[in-house]
Amino acid sequence: MKEIKKIIECKSVVEKLRKKGYKIGFVPTMGSLHDGHLNLIRMAGRECDCVIMSIFLNPTQFGPGEDLGKYPRNFRKDCIKAKNEGVDYMFHPGVEEMYPPGHRTWVEVGGLSSIMCGRFRPGHFKGVATVVLKLLDIINPDNAYFGEKDYQQMVIVRRMVKDLNLGVKIISCPTVREEDGLAMSSRNKYLSKEERKEAVILYRCLNMADSMIVEGEKNLKKIKDKLKGELKDNKFVKKVDYFDFRDPLTLEKKNRVRSGDKEVLAAAAAWIGNTRLIDNVIIKL
Ligand code: AMP
């Protein structure tokens, strides 16, 4: 696996791969790799001739007072994991390489960026969309792999790719979970032992929503109130940012299950102690 730090070098490597006719798969991450990330690499490896991963802890998607300073960094360990999974190139630019002095251009995906997580993390998805567009331009992949764990991010990236007529295919990959069901996340490292044990409550509540809908409850507002209450009753849950039902394609809010609906997205964000966790499930009707 070759490590690349400079944009110019990355572009020249990509140009050579393109001349050889290789199909390029791209996996963007912020590092601290776990099985969720490794699964994206495996999918890319199955579908492409060459896998490029990026590890870039993107400062512009963190708000003031968020966890940029303490976000886990394990670049050397990450490289070993990535190499073992068959990553061919690791793009690892510095902050100044991606945001040189004077940088002023931003990408905003209107509407989708200010709901759900965007309501509680203003500017977050502007940072995400901007860095993803920059990375897609540098790497120019055929396919780019994103996890359903960050469902809203995946929908926003798809919208941006469509709106800007980018030639990349966005592939979404299922959420990889710990044995008890907790969605894998670099942020799980922040949890104390007790918090870690209780953190699965988020997934449990999403599954309860699934059962209630499958059993015929159509009033989503009622389910939401019940499950928000369930979360709030847990002494490890400090705050529930949202528990929402949405259209899986447009993220439009849903208050009722209507005849003809095929799928509903249930998504939630909650604070377990000082750690903000997100999770979601797609409920099949
Ligand atoms: P991150 O490093 O957290 O920015 O995540 C990089 C990519 O990995 C994103 O596309 C995430 O959605 C994806 N990802 C993170 N955690 C998981 C997981 N548990 N299952 C599947 N994909 C994940």
The CATH number that applies at residue 48 is 3.40.50.620
Same domain assignment for residues 146 and 88: yes
Q: How much distance in Å is there from the Cα of 122 to the middle of ligand 1?
A: 20
Task: Give the residue from 10, 12, 28 showing the smallest Cα distance to 157.
Answer: 28
Domain boundary among 173, 200, 231: 173
Question: For residue 267, what are the β-bridge partners?
Answer: 244, 280
Whether 166 maps to a domain, the answer reads: yes
Which residue range(s) make up the domain with 48? 2-173
Same domain assignment for residues 15 and 146: yes
> For 125, left (φ over 0), alpha (ψ -120 to 50), or beta?
alpha
- Give the model's pLDDT for residue 181: 98
- Give the residue, by CA position, lying nearest to ligand 1 atom 7: 29
Q: What is the pTM of this model?
A: 0.98
- Give the model's pLDDT for residue 105: 98
- Give the residue, by CA position, lying nearest to ligand 1 atom 22: 147
CB-ligand 1 contact for 173 (6 Å cutoff): yes
Same domain assignment for residues 144 and 200: no
Rounded (5°) CA angle 244-247-248: 100
* Residues lower than pLDDT 70 in the chain: none
Find tokens 């776990």 and name the residue. Answer: 34
Same domain assignment for residues 23 and 161: yes
Same domain assignment for residues 124 and 70: yes
Same domain assignment for residues 117 and 239: no
Residues marked as catalytic = 37
Same domain assignment for residues 168 and 29: yes
- Give the residue, by CA position, lying nearest to ligand 1 atom 6: 29
Whether 234 maps to a domain, the answer reads: yes
CB-ligand 1 contact for 30 (6 Å cutoff): yes
Q: How do strand 263-272 and strand 275-284 relate by DSSP bridges?
A: antiparallel
Residue 110, classified by CB atoms within 10 Å of its CB into exposed (0-12), middle (13-18) or buried (19+), is exposed
pLDDT tens figures, 236-264? 999 999 999 999 999 999 999 999 999 99
- Give the model's pLDDT for residue 100: 98
- Give the model's pLDDT for residue 113: 98
- Give the model's pLDDT for residue 96: 98
Domain count, the chain: 2
Q: Do residues 232 and 240 make contact, with C-beta atoms less than 8 angstroms apart?
A: yes
pLDDT tens figures, 73-87? 999 999 999 999 999
Question: For residue 146, what are the β-bridge partners?
Answer: 172
Whether 41 maps to a domain, the answer reads: yes
Task: Give the residue from 77, 57, 75, 76 showing the smallest Cα distance to 67.
Answer: 57
Domain boundary among 173, 198, 215: 173
CB-ligand 1 contact for 40 (6 Å cutoff): yes
Q: Which two tokens stand for residue 51?
A: 């896998």
CB-ligand 1 contact for 58 (6 Å cutoff): no
Whether 76 maps to a domain, the answer reads: yes
Q: What is the 3-state secondary structure (H, E, C) of the chain?
A: CEEECCHHHHHHHHHHHHHCCCCEEEEEECCCCCHHHHHHHHHHHHHCCEEEEEECCCHHHCCCCCCCCCCCCCHHHHHHHHHHCCCCEEECCCHHHHCCCCCCCCCCCCCCCCCCHHHHCCCHHHHHHHHHHHHHHHHCCCEEEEEHHHHHHHHHHHHHHHHCCCCCEEEEECCCECCCCCECCHHHHHCCHHHHHHCCHHHHHHHHHHHHHHCCCCEHHHHHHHHHHHHHHCCCEEEEEEEEEECCCCCCECCECCCCCCEEEEEEEEEECCEEEEEEEEEEC
- Give the residue, by CA position, lying nearest to ligand 1 atom 17: 36
Q: What residues contact 254, with CB distance under 8 A and at least 6 apart?
A: 220, 245, 246, 247, 261, 264
